[in-house]
C-alpha cells in the first residue's frame, strides 16, 4: 500500500533573473554550496566502539555490513550535483506555468494540430562509468537532496493548484523493450505520487504507441523536472530491435515536454550513441560525468582506502602500511566495489579464523578463495591490455572504449573510401578505356581492326592483340 508524502510548496527567490518568477523553480531547495553538498551527500555510519568490539564474533560479523553504507564525497560528487542542479532548474525555464505557450502545450493534442509555440529548454546529462564505481549510489544521494513531489496551491496571490514531480527514476528494462520502459515509468510515477493508478494502464494491454503518448501527457501534467533512466546498457540486449525507437522517443519526449533526461549506465552503453548524430549530440548536452577506476597514485583513492580502513571489527586494528596499500590496489585495481568486498571478506575471515590482524597474506588468501568469480576481470584490468579488458564490456575505461569505437569507425570509413576509389576507377576505366573481358595480364595494344580474317591463325592473332598471354599458368 502506498502513502502520499508531498512537500508543501515554499517559494524563495534565487537572484537569477532566468529563475525568479517561476514557481516551479522557486519551490526547489536553495542552491547548495560545495560544503553543503559534502555534508548532505556523505554518509559515515558509526564506527565500532569498544563495547561493540566485545560482542561475540557472529554479532560483529553483522556490523561489517555497515561498510557498504559508507559514502565518501569526492570531487566527482560535486560535479554531479552541480550538473543535476542546473539541469533541473534550466529545464523549468522553458516551462513557465503562467506562460500561454506552456499552457497550450499541456493541452492533449489528440486530433488537434500540435501547437508550435512551445520551445523546450531541456538538456540531457550522461552519467557513465565502470560497473561497481558507485554511479547509481551517488546519483540517488544527490536526487534525494530534492523533494520528489511538491504540492502547489497559491503563488503570489494566483491560484496555482498543481502537483510537481521534481524527479523520477526509471530503470531500463532488462530486455530493452519499449513496453518494459512504459511499465517501469508508470510504476515509478505511482510510487512517487503514493497512489496505485497508472500501473493499471499496462494491465489493459494498450498499444505501445498509446502508452508512449500517455507518458508524454503525464510528463506535462505533473511538470516532471527530470527523468533518470538507469541501466541504459540494457538497450544493447535487443540487438537493435527497440533500441533506436527508444532513443528516438527519449529525444522526442524531451523536445515535446521540456523534461530533461539523465542517462545512467556502464561503459557498455557507449555504442548506443555511436550511430545517430542527434542522439550523441543530445547526450552530451550537460557534459559527460565519468566514473572510471582510480589509479594507485590518485589522492581520492588513498582517501577512500584510509577512511574505509578505519572501520575495523576484528578487534586488532592494523595501521595502514605501504605494503598493505599496494596489495589492496593490486587485488581491486581501483574499483570501489571490489575494495569494499575485499575489506568485508578479509575482516570476516580474520574474525572466523581467530587471526590477529589483516595482513597482505590474508588479503591474498581471501582473494584466491572467496573472490574467484572476479579473477578474470581483475586480471584483465591488471594487464592493462585493451583486448583483454574488451572481453568485459562494462569494465573497459571510457576513454579506451571511445578509442575502440573511433578505430572501428575509421576502419569503416577507410573501407568505404577504398570502395569509392575502386568504383571511381572502374567508372573512369569504363569511360576512357575500351572494354575487355577479364583482367589484362599484359599491356593492351588494341588494333583498330578487331575482326579476325577467315584464314588467320587464331592463337597468334589473339597473342598479337594482347588477349592471350603466351606464358600464362592458367
Q: 393 is written with which cell numbers? A: 564490456
Banded pLDDT at 269 (limits 50, 70, 90): confident
With residues binned 3-state (H G I as helix, E B as strand, rest as coil), the percentages for the chain, rounded to 5, are 50, 10, 40
* 407 belongs to a structural domain: no
Over pLDDT 70: what percentage of the chain? 75
**Structural domain ending residue among the three candidates 241, 271, 291:** 291
Banded pLDDT at 383 (limits 50, 70, 90): confident
| Residue 177 reports pLDDT greater than 60 | yes
User: pTM for the whole thing?
Assistant: 0.75
Are 254 and 282 in contact by the 8 Å Cβ rule? The answer is: yes
Range of the domain at 113: 7-31+74-291
**Structural domain ending residue among the three candidates 248, 264, 291:** 291
**Region of poorest pLDDT, from 180-194, 233-247, 294-308:** 233-247
* 96 belongs to a structural domain: yes
The model's pLDDT over 117-143, given as tens digits with 9 standing for 90+, comes to: 678 888 899 888 877 788 888 899 999
What pLDDT score does 417 carry?
52
What pLDDT score does 1 carry?
44
**Structural domain ending residue among the three candidates 276, 291, 306:** 291
Banded pLDDT at 451 (limits 50, 70, 90): low
* 209 belongs to a structural domain: yes
- The CB density around residue 12, as the number of other CB atoms within 10 Å, is 11
Mean pLDDT of all residues belonging to the chain? 81
**Domain CATH code at residue 18:** 3.40.50.300
Q: 339 is written with which cell numbers? A: 575494495
Integer Rg of the chain from CA: 32
Give Dmax (Cα) for the chain.
Answer: 118
What pLDDT score does 274 carry?
60
* 297 belongs to a structural domain: no
What pLDDT score does 116 carry?
57
Banded pLDDT at 472 (limits 50, 70, 90): very low
Q: Which residues 6+ apart lie within 8 Å of 257 measured at CB?
A: 105, 120, 122, 216, 219, 220, 224
What pLDDT score does 317 carry?
82
* 390 belongs to a structural domain: no
Q: Which residue has the higher pLDDT, 281 or 201?
A: 201
| Residue 330 reports pLDDT greater than 70 | yes
Banded pLDDT at 309 (limits 50, 70, 90): very high
* 351 belongs to a structural domain: no
What pLDDT score does 108 carry?
74
> Which of 112-126, 319-333, 445-459 is modeled with the greatest confidence?
319-333
Q: For 425-431, what is the mean pLDDT?
A: 53
What pLDDT score does 442 carry?
47
Banded pLDDT at 280 (limits 50, 70, 90): low
**Structural domains counted in the chain:** 2
- Phi then psi dihedrals of residue 311, to 5 deg: -90, 95
* 112 belongs to a structural domain: yes
- The CB density around residue 423, as the number of other CB atoms within 10 Å, is 10
Q: How far is CA 403 from the centre of its chain?
A: 17
The model's pLDDT over 48-95, given as tens digits with 9 standing for 90+, comes to: 999 999 999 999 999 999 999 999 988 889 999 999 999 999 999 999
* 174 belongs to a structural domain: yes
Could you give the strand order of the β-sheet that contains 227-230, starting from the edge strand earlier in sequence? 168-171, 227-230, 261-266, 124-129, 288-291
Amino acid at each position: 500500500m502506498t502513502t502520499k508524502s508531498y512537500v508543501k510548496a515554499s517559494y524563495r527567490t534565487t537572484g537569477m533573473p532566468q529563475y525568479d518568477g517561476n514557481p516551479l523553480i522557486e519551490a526547489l531547495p536553495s542552491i547548495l554550496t560545495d560544503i553543503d553538498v559534502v555534508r548532505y551527500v556523505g554518509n559515515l555510519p558509526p564506527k565500532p566502539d569498544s563495547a561493540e568490539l566485545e560482542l561475540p564474533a557472529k554479532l560483529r560479523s553483522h556490523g561489517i555490513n555497515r561498510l557498504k553504507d559508507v559514502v565518501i564525497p569526492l570531487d566527482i560528487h560535486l560535479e554531479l550535483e552541480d550538473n543535476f542542479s542546473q539541469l533541473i532548474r534550466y529545464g523549468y525555464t522553458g516551462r513557465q506555468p503562467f506562460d500561454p505557450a506552456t499552457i497550450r502545450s499541456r493541452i492533449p493534442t489528440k486530433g488537434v494540430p500540435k501547437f508550435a509555440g512551445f520551445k523546450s529548454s531541456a538538456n540531457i546529462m550522461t552519467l557513465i562509468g565502470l560497473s561497481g564505481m558507485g554511479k547509481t549510489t551517488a546519483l540517488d544521494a544527490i536526487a534525494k537532496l530534492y523533494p520528489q513531489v511538491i504540492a502547489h496551491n497559491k503563488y503570489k496571490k494566483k491560484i496555482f493548484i498543481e502537483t510537481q514531480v521534481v524527479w523520477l527514476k526509471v530503470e531500463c528494462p532488462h530486455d530493452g523493450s519499449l513496453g518494459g520502459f512504459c511499465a517501469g515509468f508508470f510504476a515509478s510515477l505511482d510510487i512517487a505520487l503514493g497512489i496505485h493508478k497508472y500501473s493499471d494502464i499496462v494491465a489493459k494491454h494498450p498499444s505501445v504507441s498509446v502508452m508512449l503518448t500517455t507518458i508524454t501527457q503525464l510528463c506535462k501534467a505533473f511538470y516532471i523536472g527530470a527523468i533518470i533512466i538507469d541501466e541504459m546498457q540494457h538497450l544493447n540486449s535487443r540487438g537493435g530491435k527497440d533500441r533506436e525507437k527508444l532513443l528516438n522517443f527519449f529525444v522526442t519526449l524531451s523536445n515535446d515536454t521540456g523534461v530533461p533526461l539523465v542517462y545512467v549506465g556502464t561503459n557498455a552503453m557507449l555504442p548506443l550513441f555511436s550511430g545517430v548524430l542527434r542522439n550523441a549530440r543530445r547526450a552530451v548536452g550537460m557534459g559527460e560525468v565519468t566514473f572510471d577506476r582510480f589509479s594507485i597514485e590518485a589522492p581520492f583513492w588513498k582517501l577512500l582506502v584510509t577512511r574505509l580502513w578505519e572501520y575495523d571489527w576484528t578487534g586488532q586494528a592494523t595501521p595502514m602500511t605501504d605494503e598493505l596499500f599496494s596489495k589492496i590496489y593490486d587485488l581491486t585495481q581501483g574499483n570501489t566495489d571490489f575494495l569494499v568486498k575485499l575489506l568485508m571478506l578479509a575482516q570476516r575471515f580474520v574474525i572466523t579464523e581467530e587471526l590477529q590482524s589483516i595482513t597482505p597474506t590474508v588479503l591474498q588468501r581471501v582473494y584466491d578463495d572467496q573472490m574467484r568469480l572476479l579473477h578474470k576481470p581483475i586480471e584483465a584490468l591488471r594487464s592493462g591490455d585493451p583486448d583483454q579488458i574488451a572481453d568485459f564490456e562494462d569494465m573497459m575505461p571510457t576513454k579506451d572504449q571511445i578509442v575502440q569505437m573511433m578505430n572501428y569507425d575509421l576502419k569503416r570509413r577507410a573501407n568505404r573510401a577504398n570502395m569509392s576509389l575502386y568504383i571511381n576507377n572502374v567508372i573512369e576505366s569504363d569511360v576512357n578505356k575500351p572494354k575487355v573481358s577479364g583482367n589484362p595480364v599484359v599491356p593492351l595494344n588494341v588494333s583498330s581492326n578487331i575482326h579476325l580474317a577467315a584464314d588467320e591463325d587464331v592463337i597468334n592473332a589473339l597473342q598479337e592483340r594482347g588477349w592471350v598471354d603466351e606464358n600464362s599458368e592458367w
